[in-house]
Structure formats: C-alpha cells, structure tokens
Structure 1
Amino acid sequence: MPSGILGFPVAPFAQNGKLDENAFAANLNFLLDAEVSSLFIACGSGEYQSLTRSEYQQMIEIALSITDMKVPVFSGVGGQLEQALDLAQLSQNLGVDGYLILPPYLVHGEQEGLYQYYKLIAESTDLQAIIYQRDSVVFQTETLKKLAQIPQVVGFKDGRGIMEQITELKQEIGNELVWMNGLPFAEITQPIYHSLGFQSYSSAISNYIPHISKLFYQAIQQDDRKTITTLYQEVLLPINRVRKKRAGYAVSLIKSGMEIMGLPVGESVRAPLIPVEKEHYQELAAILTHTMDRFPPT
C-alpha cells in the first residue's frame, strides 16, 4: 500500500478538447521524478466525472506503460454503480494495483446503502480497494468496521475533515486500514492528520512544486515546527487563499500552477469546472515566483 506523498495527475485537454496524451505522459514523468509513492489515475484531479470510457482507458494504459511497476498505480471508480463496476473490471483487466472508490455522486444514502455500494464495488474484483469519504458520504464507525472486514478493502481516504468522527474511526479500527488524508490541498491539514496516525496524503502541489510538498512532509515527520510554520505562511496558505476563491479551483488551479512552472498541460477544464481567472492566475504566479526564490529546489 502507498504511503507518504500520493501523486494525483491531472487530465490535460488539447485545444480540440481531446485528451492530450503527451502532456499527460509528461505530468506522470514529472511526478515520478518527484518520487511520489504512488499514482492515482482518473480521480478527482483527473476530472473523473468528465472522462469517456476510452479516455479513462487511455490514461491508465499510459500510466502503466510509463511507471513500469516503479510505483503502485491506482485508478478511480465511482459515481453511477454500473459504471463504477464496469471501470473496476476494466482496471483489473488493464493491470492496475487497486482503485480508489469515489462517492455515489448526488445521492445521500443511508449507512446500509453506502455499505452495499462500496461492498459491491470492492468485491467485484481482486484488486486492493481504498474507501473514499467525501461530499455526501460520511461513515458511521460500525459501517466502516464492516467494510474493513472485506479482504479487498485495505485503505481509507478522508475528504470531509470531521475531526471527532475521524478520531473515533481511527481509534476503533486502527491498523486494519491504511489511513490517507484526502482533503483538498491536504498539506494544510496534514499536521493534524499526522497526529491521528495518517501517514499519507494526496498532494496537488506535487504536480508543480513537489520539492515544497516533500520539504513540508519531512518537516512533519521530524516535528520541525519552524519549517512547518514558515512554509504555511510563505507558500501553502497564500496558495490556499487563491484556491478558495472559486469552486472547482481545487482542480483548475493545479493546471495553472503547472503552466506557470513551465509544465504545460493547458488550462482547459471540462464543465462544470471553470478555468482560473486572469487575476487569480497572476496572484498564483506571484506566489510561485516568491516560492522559487525563497525555497529553490535542491
């Protein structure tokens, strides 16, 4: 199972609206060079909700070819149940290591309904399955305990940030699962999650300033409060303020950051997401210029 910094590449789109395979491959190689512990393909930052089945397959095939078993590769499955089951089977056929089960969008199910949804997907293949708590999905302890008993279920990723609930889940279930911080811009909350025993997190900024994510992660591991505070004040919180200015910037701001840092993937995103506005793009550019001056890669 992956630990440490988790890589979540984007889905680059060319001017004709199609998936840009070359830009996607460059994104993957950059993340591998940054030494992320694993790659999660076609998940939230990869605009899972907008991909065709063909594009989904393309992305996985490219990822498997480029990684060549250097790091684990996970796909994203979720949303409409039959589609999720289809993509889970496709993922297994293509040879990924596992998948992140995304929420059943727009549906607020009871606990038994959520259990059945995640159980059906997890048991549909032999792959490792990671449960993702996000949006409409909040697990009661007994529900997650039952899911943890399924052999394929090996991890839990939290995207809600309900600290009292997360504390109880971690205390009750313990090391039966691998625990991952999946909040948007997870660096912001990782010191708290680390104290609860979460050893890994998804890093959006690893797509464009991975040395900062690595420096921050090391500071957390070493309890280096001075470095943590400095990175918060000079890099992480300023970027996060830009991210929060528009809904959907959790995805589109990654592409802007990559463009600014000379890793062109285009700024096109698919509706309902919107591109980063010019003013906000310039704010991000100023932050990244300061970041590179203040904390140059070694």
Structure 2
Amino acid sequence: MSVKNRKAPKGILGFPVAPMDEEGKLDLDALGRNIEFLVEEGLSSVFVACGAGELHAISNEEYRSMVQVAVEKTKGKVPLYTGVGGNISHALEQAKISEELGAEGFLILPPYLINPSQDGLYNYLRKIINATDLNAIVYQRDNCILELETLQKLCEIPQLVGFKDGVGNMELNVEFTHLIGDRLAWINGMPLAEITMEAYVNLGFTSYSSAISNYIPHISARYYDALLKGDKEVVNELYENVILPIHRIRKQKNGYAVSLIKAGMNIVGLPVSTNVRPPVAPVEKEHYEQLKVIIQKAFEKYPAHAEPVK
C-alpha cells in the first residue's frame, strides 16, 4: 500500500493486549473486543502486537492473525499501527505482513539480545523502515538508545514519522525536540505514561501510550484534558486517587507493565483473562485485589459508562 499521510497519530494512543486462554492460546475474540472498546472510548489510534501485546512471545503466524483482527476492527475509524522488532528477520517479515494487511504504520521495538553500536542501530532501523512504504516510529528503550546524530540521519528517511521515548532521559529529550523539532511526532512511552506526561508535554510531546486506557480510559481522557488545560487541581486529584496508587502496584514486580493491564481489564468485566506467556508472570492475588479496590473507588468518584464488575 502507499501511505499518503506522513504523520503519526496524536493524543492518547491505544495499545491492546494479547488475550490468552487457560492453555496460553491467543483469544482473538477477546482481542477484537479489546480493540472495539478502545475505539468506542475515543482513543486516537490502535497499536497492536507491541509491548503490551507481548510481541516478544508470539509467533509471526499469531502476529498475522492479531493484525487481521485489528484491521477489521479499526478500518475507517482510527489509524492502525503494529509492532515490529526483535530478530531482524522476524521484524522484516512483520513489516511486510503489516503492509500486506493494510496497517498505516509500525512501531519498531529494540533488536533482540545484542547491545549494538550506533551504526549497528542505524542499520537495523534503516533496514526495517525502508522495507515498506508504511509510516514508522522508532522506540527508544532498553538496548535501542539513539544519539542525536543517529536520529537526525534516520530523519532523512521519509517514512519515519515519530519517536517514542521509554527511557526518560530528559536531557536527551530536550536536545532531540529542540534540534529536530516538528520533523517528528514526539510520543511518551514510559511505563504508565500518565505519571510522567506532565513533564513531557512541556517539551512538545503531544501523544502518549496509555496502559490504563485498556480498562479505565475515561480516567486517561480526564487526566490529559486537565493537563492540557492547565487544571492542576484535577491533575493532582487524579494522581492522588488513581494514577499513583496504580503506579505503586506496577512497580512491585517486573512484567507488571503487561500483566497488570490484563488484571485491570479482567476486573472491569472485559473478556480478558489474566493469563500471560513466560517470562512475564501473572499478577499476584494480593496485587489484583489492591488494583480492584483502586478501580472501584475510581468508578465511584469518576463515573463512566459502566460500573466495574464487583
């Protein structure tokens, strides 16, 4: 396909999970409902099979089926992006699948295992970006840490439309945003991005990926609206009552950036189990119950369309 819109989505970006049954098999019906929920709740776009979608743990056959569901559920409604990355051969195949099925673009996750040099990273990203005509967004995290010169060089490729930061090096972000400017869309990709968006928005980061939008999207919407309007009272209240308490649970265990999302979705009654694939571990019962209390109180204080399951 030929992409004419060389702009990344803005606003609150939706990142669905990879729902799984008791045997660990993908539940595509639940994925479809997850995506429908995000679209119905006003998320600006959908990014399927990324970090929250356990890209690291799915086969490319499963990947194809997830993208097919996402295309069906988003077509004509919101832009669809996919995740690609890890093993370079797999990433190139994923990019081709995304193009074949009709995605608008993809988010490039870090290469597998290797701690690369800047020229190695450039070649990895360049090869994936140039593999298709789709829009591409690079994801700064883990072993994919770019220096200014590398990112500037990548900006010569027209398919590159965005930069997502999952590291939190604000000194580097200041350098990037001031010297590259609006050539790229700037996306906050920190874990539970509502925690840091107050700092990022001042640097020109107009978008962020929201984990909690999978189960309490009205909270994300209320938070971001208040942040953009400069309503510190509402922002502080949401931090105190909802965002920071969830963040404290998320920090209890590695992998909760993924599994805590599924727990939240399960609590509000969406058809998603808490099952995840190793090495990610499911949420412990104690933390599940703590999250349930936070969510119930959030619905009581900030009503939405439906009450969570008791």
Same topology, TM > 0.5: yes
SS across alignment from 1:101: strand
Displacement of 1:5 in angstroms is 0.3
The residue number in structure 2 matching 1:114 is 121
2:232 and 2:13 mapped to 1: Cα distance?
Answer: 23
Displacement of 1:238 in angstroms is 0.2
Match of 2:180 among 152, 166, 173: 173
Spell out the pairing of 1:118-129 with structure 2 (5 A cutoff). Answer: 118-129=125-136
Match of 2:161 among 141, 154, 159: 154
Q: Deviations over 1:17-47 (max 9, x none)?
A: 2110111111011101111000001000000
The residue number in structure 2 matching 1:272 is 279
Can you give the 5+ residue segments of structure 1 that lack an aligned partner in the other structure?
none
1:57 and 1:245 mapped to 2: Cα distance?
Answer: 33
Q: Deviations over 1:160-193 (max 9, x none)?
A: 0000011101111000001100011001000111
Displacement of 1:138 in angstroms is 1.3
Q: TM-score by structure 1 length?
A: 0.99
**Is 1:20 aligned to 2:27, yes or no?**
yes
SS across alignment from 1:102: strand
Q: Deviations over 1:100-139 (max 9, x none)?
A: 0110132111111111110000001100000110111211
1:58 and 1:89 mapped to 2: Cα distance?
Answer: 14
Q: Deviations over 1:63-92 (max 9, x none)?
A: 111112210000100001111111111111
The residue number in structure 1 matching 2:87 is 80
Q: Deviations over 1:257-288 (max 9, x none)?
A: 00111112101000000000000001101111
The residue number in structure 2 matching 1:227 is 234
1:131 and 1:48 mapped to 2: Cα distance?
Answer: 15
1:289 and 1:91 mapped to 2: Cα distance?
Answer: 38
**Is 1:42 aligned to 2:49, yes or no?**
yes
Match of 2:139 among 132, 157, 162: 132
1:86 and 1:198 mapped to 2: Cα distance?
Answer: 30
Displacement of 1:246 in angstroms is 0.4
Q: Which amino acid aligns with 1:106?
A: L
The residue number in structure 1 matching 2:300 is 293
SS across alignment from 1:126: coil
Instruction: Name whichever of 117-126 and 14-23 sits farther off.
Output: 14-23
1:195 and 1:285 mapped to 2: Cα distance?
Answer: 33
1:215 and 1:2 mapped to 2: Cα distance?
Answer: 19
1:115 and 1:149 mapped to 2: Cα distance?
Answer: 12
Q: Deviations over 1:232-257 (max 9, x none)?
A: 01100000000000000000000000
Can you give the 5+ residue segments of structure 2 that lack an aligned partner in the other structure?
1-7, 306-310
**Is 1:238 aligned to 2:245, yes or no?**
yes
RMSD of Structure 2 on Structure 1 (CA): 0.8
SS across alignment from 2:111: coil
Q: Which amino acid aligns with 1:274?
A: A
Q: Which amino acid aligns with 2:165?
A: D
What stretches of structure 1 move > 4 A for 4+ residues in a row? none
| Equivalent residue pairs, number | 298
The residue number in structure 2 matching 1:2 is 9
Q: Which amino acid aligns with 1:217?
A: Y
Displacement of 1:149 in angstroms is 1.1
1:259 and 1:245 mapped to 2: Cα distance?
Answer: 19
2:90 and 2:69 mapped to 1: Cα distance?
Answer: 21
Q: TM-score by structure 2 length?
A: 0.95
